[in-house]
Amino acid sequence: MVSGWIGIDLDGTLAQYDGWRDGEIGVPVPLMLQRVKEWIAKGITVKIVTARANVPDMIPPVQDWLEAHGLPRLEVTAIKDFSMIELWDDRCVPVETNTGIVKIVRRDFTKL
């Protein structure tokens, strides 16, 4: 069992995004949606990490969207914490710990 949680960005990662439109959420990105479902089925804690969570009224629509696409009403946050083990985000650049070197390799959670 994985200790901690995996953060998934919403716009551009779990949902298609091509610009802000009054809070609308795009259609799911099939590969990410399936990946998240598999993690949850394996008992891995997943949280949605999105700037939308900075506005409390925007959290329920995100949870409604998740539910409409076959996911549970996951925690939606804009905050990382010490228990986050990985963040999937279309805007981040992964950096090797303590070096500043950009890395491409990631942990393989498919074998859990």
Q: What is the C-alpha separation between 54 and 105, in angstroms, rounded?
A: 30
Cross-strand partners of 102: 95
pLDDT along the chain (112 residues), means of 10: 91 94 93 97 97 96 98 97 95 87 68 52
Architecture of domain 5-111: 3-Layer(aba) Sandwich (3.40)
Cross-strand partners of 6: 46, 86
Q: What residue segments make up the domains of the chain, in order of their start?
A: 5-111
pLDDT of residue 97: 86
Helix (H, G, I), strand (E, B) or coil at 61: helix
* Residue pair 39/109 in contact by the 8 Å Cβ criterion: yes
pLDDT of residue 103: 81
Q: What is the C-alpha separation between 85 and 88, in angstroms, rounded?
A: 10
The amino acid sitting at 13 is: T
Give pTM, 2 decimals: 0.87
Beta strand 5-9 pairing with 84-88: parallel
